[in-house]
Structure 1
Amino acid sequence: MTSTAVNTRVRAAAGAAATGLAAAGALHVVWTRSPWPLDTPADLARVAVGVEETELPSAPLTLAVAGLLGTAGALVTAAARPESRWGRAKLVRAGVWTATGVLAARGAGGLAVSGLQLGKSTPEFRHWDLRLYSPICLTLAGLMGYVAGRTRHA
């Protein structure tokens, strides 16, 4: 495979990962003000977090998650351009590997915990965790790991 084809695939993977991370981050920002796409905060708590409404994370904590998702998107975008100063930076590379590990752990852990019905999360959350949340985390981890692995010697 030519270097151009590798670069195109790496940048496409980084773009897909960054888009997914940005969308997840934007949704977390929305959740600080609205339960959208659900109807009520109680629905959001039960379906998206797996807790009762009184246990929903605070707005600052939710914004922190949004910020981390956005940062991960910026890091994978930078890493996909190893010819740039940022793409070669050790901090960027470490950040991409760290985010990859966190998302992989979240995805695999979610499948295990929800699949085995461990913990006290709601049935609605377990349903969506098995079908959407955990697979998305694993997909994003795979895309980021691909970028990090294909650019490690650049």
Structure 2
Amino acid sequence: MLRTVVGTTTAAVLTAIGGMHVLWTATPWPWHSDSEFRSAVFGSSESTAPLASYLLMGGALVGAGALVLSQAGLVPRVGPDRLRGGAMYALSGGLLLRGVGGVALNVDASEEFQQLNTFVYAPLCIGLAALTYYVQCSSGADSAVAPRVTRED
């Protein structure tokens, strides 16, 4: 039961964030201007990123949401357990790295980015890392990295 709730919530958040990245190819929403968007997301109003990078990150996040749903047993699992398990640990590790190491991004960044990064982006990544790790450890799927947890929800 808990794995289902955690998996659904985590996948929904990852997918929503992925959707925002895709949306940013067309609009700076929820910010009012491109300059405000760049300052809040990249740390400088002069920073830019290719539109393709938004699509790639958005697709990766939506794919991560699907992976979490799969490991939570909410959609059919595709591919070998070890591959999915390794992908879940990589996702969890990447989110943890962004959350903990992301504080270094505050150097020379706009004040708005520093606040968002410290109080929203980094904690969100750390929380998502913990939730994806929980889903993987409670999935009962074999993993190439860590032993299987056989606890029933």
For 2:92, which of 100, 121, 136 is the aligned residue? 100
Separation in structure 2 between the aligned mates of residue 105 and residue 31 of structure 1, nearest angstrom: 24
| Aligned position for 1:130 | 118
- Alpha-carbon contact 1:18-1:77 (below 8 Å) kept: yes
Separation in structure 2 between the aligned mates of residue 23 and residue 82 of structure 1, nearest angstrom: 18
Q: Which runs of 4+ in 1 moved over 6 A?
A: none
The one-letter code of the counterpart of 1:98 is A
The one-letter code of the counterpart of 1:70 is V
Structure 1 residue 82: Cα displacement = 9.1
**1:51-130 correspondence to structure 2 within 5 Å:** 51-53=44-46, 55-81=47-73, 85-86=77-78, 89-110=81-102, 112-113=103-104, 117-118=106-107, 120-130=108-118
| Aligned position for 2:25 | 32
- % identity of equivalent residues: 29
- Alpha-carbon contact 1:78-1:87 (below 8 Å) kept: no
Deviation string 1:17-76 (CA, Å, 9 cap, x unpaired) is 1011011001001111100000000000001221233x2211101110001101111111
For 2:37, what is the secondary structure of its paired residue?
A: helix
Unaligned runs of 5+ in 2: 141-147
For 1:56, what is the secondary structure of its paired residue?
A: coil
TM-score scaled by length of structure 1: 0.84
Separation in structure 2 between the aligned mates of residue 56 and residue 31 of structure 1, nearest angstrom: 12
Unaligned runs of 5+ in 1: 1-7
Answer yes or no: is 1:9 the counterpart of 2:2: yes
- Alpha-carbon contact 1:107-1:138 (below 8 Å) kept: yes
The one-letter code of the counterpart of 1:15 is T
Aligned residues: 142
- Alpha-carbon contact 1:25-1:69 (below 8 Å) kept: yes
For 1:35, what is the secondary structure of its paired residue?
A: coil
The one-letter code of the counterpart of 2:115 is H
Separation in structure 2 between the aligned mates of residue 80 and residue 123 of structure 1, nearest angstrom: 38
- Alpha-carbon contact 2:4-2:74 (below 8 Å) kept: no
Compared CA separation, residues 70 and 84, structure 1 to 2 (3 A)? closer
TM-score scaled by length of structure 2: 0.84
